Every structure is written in structure tokens, then in C-alpha cells.
Amino acid sequence: MSVQSSATNTGAARYDVVVVGAGFAGMYMLHRLRGLGFTARVYEQGSGVGGTWYWNRYPGARCDVESMQYSYSFSDELQQQWNWSERYAPQPEILQYANHVADRFDLRRDIQFDTRVERASFDERDNLWSVTTSDGKTVTARFVVLATGCLSNARKPDIKGLDRFEGKVYHTGHWPHDEVDFTGLRVGVIGTGSSGIQSVPMIAEEASHVTVFQRTAQFSIPARNAGLTDEERNWFRANYPEVRRFAREQSKNGIYTEMPDRGALDDGDNKRRSNYEARWQRGGLTFMTVYNNLALDKTANDTAADFVRDKIAEIVRDPATAQLLQPNDHPIGSKRICIDTDYFATFNRPNVALVDIKTNPIEEITKTAIRTGGKDIELDALVLATGFDAMTGSVAKIAISGRGGQTLNQKWADGPRTYLGLMSAGFPNLFVITGPGSPSVLSNMIVSIEQHVDWISDCLSHMRDNALEAMEAERDAEDRWVAHVNDVAANTLYPQANSWYMGANIPGKPRIFMPYIGGVGPYRQICNDVAARGYEGFAMTGRRQTQQAAAS
């Protein structure tokens, strides 16, 4: 493989690797490829780096994994020098960090912004991908890496009359770059997932009135966000080797925290309650790791769910509103739990109302109102906090055709099929970062991104060193992995929820549990073992074998 990009005899630029997306995955992938001497071109449809943090600029947007951990670990200088200001950094600061990384590692010169990848076709004779972009150009590459993001395809709900609404309509996942001012406006927020829960308290401080349209009540834990002290930052900096090692190798979810050694039913009522109370006071995602069986045992799970339901009833003064806000149709944690700042307390404000659209679905949107239960709720602006076509949505928007002209959308029509979440049989030399079948959205995603990027980088070096040109998941290995992913999920409470992990938020999308729930540490070990056994389950071929196969 070449160090310089070159042109083919048709004049198309040729790269070793095309990377799609310039979020944290695409940026680190580019950095590693460069370091290994591969030529790479990154295409990004946005005008800047940062992915999630470029698009999701809604009020209140911030990470829910603590910033000292939700950050790159590949450069010790970077992690020692960057100063996170708060326990959970707000979106502008995370975007600033992404830009800092792009500058520090001089990434921009190989990223083409404002350019969508629209099509990628594999040529079996030459083992090359042709990649066509929205500027009408086609380039070729030996490898394509989809760093397109699990939560990057914002879902616009299909509600009658939405396009007719005369006020401003905003999607949290596509927030404008200019400041949005809700002062004096009556705002409707549709959706109560993480983005709705983060934004409602902020919007309520500005708007004259906010109506929250809720289909599913959510479990949410207080963030207890606060400024980071020097002492806290320095503790992480001094302990990063162990913090990062634990997150990568030992943890279930890529987060450094205590590992529980007992189940919820091993403690009596008082002890259990005081443990939950301590985690509630601490705040954050580690609420779910107080016991080791909350994701496995419904009776154990109920104790945690009851605790949170009681908290909601304590915080929200109006009993009918409190009852509506109490989730009771899914086990706690079977949908990603939300981390909030004053979400439930916001419903005590006189200018905030909750409307139950599970019982009374939205009938239609008129020029000035949302109609539900036969009643019009007049609004000046609408916020769609309706989430994403998760995990597969952005991949599905690219016309990808592999061996024999089969498209990835055809192959995944009944749900995504991958080996290790990294490759799909029939699509040689095409990698997905944090793809379905890997821990991805169940983890601190930067940990999972770094693991995939490092694995792919090692794999490409191995292929170059051994004069290998094509690599492909074997169908048997893929079938076994898909079965394993499903088996592991079936032993947990996760499939009991109609969640976006299951594709349940998208009408018509097949219901299968997409991420791998076996844990970040064990998953990494599996991937490492596969590589150590000569990339077991992947077929790798050199140029001569490819030519022989084409001739026969």
C-alpha cells in the first residue's frame, strides 16, 4: 500500500482508506492511519469535526459519562493537558475539545467537509471500493471505514401536519448554529428521551410556557453536575493508567467504577435503600452498578425501579403529574437511563405542563397547535426531541454494494448481521466502528471507539506486512456471533423494553437487540483472541488468490 495517494488510470484519486465521518471515531481512525503510513481521506457531511457534538447543540446538551473518562486516552499529553471544567462537560466544551484534537494532530488537511458519501461499490476483481460523494466525484480505496456514528441519523417523526406548522421547528439532533431564543414563546417539546430530559429544564427557564408531550416515561438519575476542582482533575491525571486500563479491560461499560459483588436481594430493605440513596446522591450512570443483578433479575430490578419511582413522587408536587412521570412499562436500565439536572423538579414550575400522548396520541399538528385528545394546544415553536434511527440509520443511507452486487440494506433487511460488529460477510474490506454486534451504545463510547480503531489499524498493518489484499467475515463466524449476541441479550432484561437498542422507535424497523451486551472487557478479549489466532473467522486473501478466483 502506498504512502502517497495516487490517481487511477481513470483519473480518480486513490487512497488506501476512505473514512466516512469525522466524529471521535473518524478523527482517531485518521490519526492512526497516518501514523502507520496509510493514505486516507475522510468525508464529513457537516462543516466541522466532532460528529454528535457538532450536531447536538440544543440547550442543556452535555455528556452523561463523566468528562475525565469521556475523552480520548490515546495521547497521554492530551489527557494530562486538557482541562475539563465540569464533571459533565457541556456540548460547546466537548466540541471545542474535538476541534483542539483536530488542530493538535493536524487532522483537517485530510478531511473533506460538507461532503456526503452517497455510494460505495466493491469491485471484486481489483479488491477496490469506489466511493461516490455528494460533490459528484468518485474515488477508489482498498478499504472503507464507516465512522458514521450510532446516533447520527436524526429521526423526524411522522406526524400528520408537521410540515404545516407555522412556528419554528427544531430537532435536537440538528440544532441551528445560531442562538435560538425562546423568550416569551409557548414551546412544545415532543419526546422525553435523553435530549428532551436535558433540554426541557433549560427551555422552561426562557420560554413563557413549555408543554412536554410524553409517550414513554423515563428513568432518570440526577447528574449532580458541578465544576471540577484541581484536586479531582489531578486525581484522574495521576491515576489514568489504572483508570483507563480498568475501563478497557475489566469494566462492563467502559467506565471506571466499583464492581458490585452482590445482588440487590442479598441486602435487606434498609441497607438496599441506603445504598440506592448513596448512589442517587452521588448522581450519574453508576446508579445502575450498585448491584450486580439489576440487568438480569426482574425482582432485583424492581427494587431499583421502585426507588426511582418514589423519588419522582417526592420531587413532583402534583400527584397526577408525578404518576405520569413514573415509568412502569420497562425495567430500569433496559433503555439507556437518562442523567438530568432538575428534570422532574421542572414540572413544579407554573409554566410547564405534561401531556400524555400514549393515552391520547397526537392527532395532528395544525398551523398553530398540536391537537391531542380533541384539544388544540397552541404553540409558537416546536422542539422535536425524537431521537435517532440508531446504530444502522446512517449506514443505511449510503448505497453500499458488496460481493455480487448485493446491497448492505438487502442483507440487513431483517436486522443487522456482523461478525464482532466490525465486518459483514459479503462486504470485503469494509469496517464499521462501533457497529451493531459490538458494545457501542452500551458503553462509554470513546473507549469502544478507541478499541475498534486500534483493532482495525493492527489488522491493516498485518495485511500489509503479509501482502494480503482482501479480508472478509466468514458467514459461519458471523452466524455464530449473531447467535451469541442474541443469546447474551436474551439472558437479560434488555429485550423487555421497546427501546432504540431494539430498533423499536422506528416504524417498520426489525426488532432485534443490536448492541453486544457481554461487556467491554470480555468483548475486547474476544477481539484480541481472534486477532492472535490469525484473524480467526475472517478470510484473508492476497492478490494472486484473488486473480485465480476471478479467473476460475
Ligand X SMILES: Cc1cc2nc3c(=O)[nH]c(=O)nc-3n(C[C@H](O)[C@H](O)[C@H](O)COP(=O)(O)OP(=O)(O)OC[C@H]3O[C@@H](n4cnc5c(N)ncnc54)[C@H](O)[C@@H]3O)c2cc1C
Give the shortest CB-184-to-ligand X separation in angstroms.
27
CA dist 289 and 308 (Å) reads 14
Other Cβ atoms less than 10 A from the Cβ of 403: the count is: 12
* Residues across the chain: 552
Closest CA to 87 of 242, 199, 236: 236
From 16, 17, 21, 175, residue interacting with ligand X (rule: CB under 6 A): 21
From 117, 379, 422, 425, residue interacting with ligand X (rule: CB under 6 A): 117
From 70, 236, 291, 523, residue interacting with ligand X (rule: CB under 6 A): 70
Contact in structure between 400 and 393 (CB atoms under 8 Å): no
From 14, 15, 18, 24, residue interacting with ligand X (rule: CB under 6 A): 24
CA dist 321 and 312 (Å) reads 10
Contact in structure between 370 and 188 (CB atoms under 8 Å): yes
Note the helical H segments in 319-391.
319-325, 343-346
* Cβ neighbourhood burial of 138 (10 Å; 0-12, 13-18, 19+): middle
Contact in structure between 448 and 438 (CB atoms under 8 Å): yes
Give the shortest CB-48-to-ligand X separation in angstroms.
9
CA dist 376 and 339 (Å) reads 31
From 19, 30, 40, 63, residue interacting with ligand X (rule: CB under 6 A): 63
CA dist 307 and 119 (Å) reads 49
| CB-based burial, 500-516: b 16+ in 10 Å, e otherwise | bbbbebbeebeebbbbb
Residues within window 525-544 making contact with ligand X, judged by CB under 6 A: none
Comparison of 247 and 470: residue with beta carbon closer to ligand X: 247
Element (H, E) at 363: strand 362-365
Comparison of 13 and 313: residue with beta carbon closer to ligand X: 13
> Residue 157: which region, alpha, beta or left (left: phi > 0; alpha: psi -120 to 50)?
beta
Comparison of 115 and 546: residue with beta carbon closer to ligand X: 115
Give the shortest CB-543-to-ligand X separation in angstroms.
29
Query: Taking contact as CB under 6 A, which single stretch among the options 267-275, 441-449, 461-469, 500-508 is the one that binds ligand X?
Result: 441-449
From 34, 108, 116, 411, residue interacting with ligand X (rule: CB under 6 A): 116
From 44, 389, 454, 469, residue interacting with ligand X (rule: CB under 6 A): 44
Comparison of 21 and 503: residue with beta carbon closer to ligand X: 21
Comparison of 54 and 170: residue with beta carbon closer to ligand X: 54
From 394, 418, 438, 546, residue interacting with ligand X (rule: CB under 6 A): 394
Size of the site for ligand X (CB under 6 A): 36
Instruction: Kindly state whether residue 149 participates in binding ligand X, applying the rule CB under 6 A.
Output: yes
Query: Taking contact as CB under 6 A, which single stretch among the options 144-152, 227-235, 244-252, 419-427 is the one that binds ligand X?
Result: 144-152
Instruction: Kindly state whether residue 445 participates in binding ligand X, applying the rule CB under 6 A.
Output: yes
Residue with cell 466525484: 137
Q: Which residues bind ligand X (CB under 6 A)?
A: 20-26, 43-46, 51-52, 54, 56, 61, 63-65, 70, 116-117, 147-152, 195, 394, 398, 433-434, 444-445, 449
